[in-house]
Amino acid sequence: MNLFLAAYLLMFLAAFIGLAPLFQIIGPLHAAGLGTGSKTQILSRAMFWGAITAAAANVVMGTISDRTTSPFGRRRPWIALGALLTILSYVGIWRSSTPAEFIWAFIGFQLAFNVLVAPLSAVFADRVPIALRSTVSAMLGLSYPLAVALGSALMALGPQYELGRLALLAGILLAAALIFLIIYDEPRSFERSERPPSSVPIGIGVFLEPFRSRNFVVVWTGRLFIATGYALVSMYLLYFLTDAVGWPGRSPERAHAFLTGISFVGVMVVAGAVALFGRRMIWRQPLALTGALLLCAATSILAIAPSWTTAVFALAVYGLGQGAYGAVEMGLMADALPTQHNRGRDMGLNNLAVALPQSIAPFFTIVLQQMGFDLRDFYVVAALCFAAAAVIMSLFQPVRR
């Protein structure tokens, strides 16, 4: 079990390293380098259509993996295929030379990435014991902020040309995927005993069924607002530093790396504590609620008083909030699953709450820009999203362990 968990955590981290720098550094720089139209609008359109693709692909792939039978298990074949397709999708992004090509390349990346992530997320509900969910959830909660910090550092200190950066991300993802697929061996008995009949039709009613559960709706909706706030903050942080904050003697990439590093320290403090003492945690909801409130406070500070000093302080608070919510996020999702026979579908629906904001956030930015608002206003919207998530999380009914 320990070896499997180590490989699983490494795979999650590598997947997010393959995503975060692309969204926060490579994509924005590529959009700005196309030289046609507004860089923000080009990036926003790519994110919007890519997110629509991700939203559909994640749910469908989770459902398909529930019904997959093969000598290699339900999840492993799709994880392998998703990793390979994600690496190939980097080529399309690198080769894109017009806004239309760039948008299509992002759509291809999102499709490939969710072929990987949907079955990978279902593995948490499949194989992590209830007693370890807080601990493992906290470790997984470190994955994205750690990927942001490591990815930003790799972009600042590694290859300074796009092809080299993409090749580096591809190598990390490929190595982690090989390790995980070798170590993770899905038991055949597990597949036979818990796989729902493949003859069950897949219709719209099947996907709406989990929303009859109050806790599922609360966790899903709260995650939707949290992820929308994350998207608004992270997607445009590079532009926010350039246009609203400024940086004393630093390149945009190095300023971004420094601030994401500050944020990651806060994540480590909270998520590290939960990872160590997770077995003693009875309720996960209060920590998620605290995280949403801290995220709201940090984003409000950025919006009200954008300066280098306040940005450093706000990103530290932001990291504490991200760590608090992220430490229990996966555990809350698994707790709220209404059935044990459609884990891939239901975890895919939960991931839909993360994929949708990638389209909602760019839509907000386009609308706000057309109304004459600037990047600071994006962060006001982000603060409101975190506040809404806090209200919704208060409605969760704790599950006894």
| Residue 256 structure tokens | 């971004």
Maximum average pLDDT range among 42-46, 85-89, 263-267 = 85-89
In tens, the pLDDT along 216-225 reads 888 889 988 9
In tens, the pLDDT along 339-371 reads 666 777 777 787 777 777 766 666 667 777 777
The three state secondary structure string of 215-229 is HHHHHHHHHHHHHHH
Q: What is the pLDDT of residue 25?
A: 86
Q: How far apart are CA 270 and CA 184, in angstroms?
A: 29
CATH class of 2-185+209-393: mainly alpha
pLDDT band at 191 (very low <50, low <70, confident <90, very high): very low
Distance in angstroms between the alpha carbons of the first and the last residue of the chain: 21
Q: Does the pTM exceed 0.85? A: no
Mean pLDDT score of the chain, rounded to an integer?
81
**Residue matched to tokens 């975060």:** 20
Q: What's the Cα-to-Cα distance from 197 to each of 65, 67, 69, 191, 346, rounded to whole Å? A: 12, 7, 11, 11, 16
Contacts 24+ apart (CB under 8 A), 385-388: 385/225, 385/226, 385/228, 385/229, 385/232, 386/225, 386/226, 386/229, 386/292, 386/293, 386/295, 386/296, 386/299, 386/321, 387/292, 387/296, 388/225
Whether 26 and 340 have beta carbons less than 8 Å apart is answered as no
CA-wise closest residue to 122 among 364, 376, 373, 339? 339
State which H helix or E strand residue 264 sits in. Answer: helix 252-277
Domain borders along the chain are 2-185+209-393
- Provide CB contacts within 8 A for 317, sequence distance 6+: 266, 294, 297, 298, 301
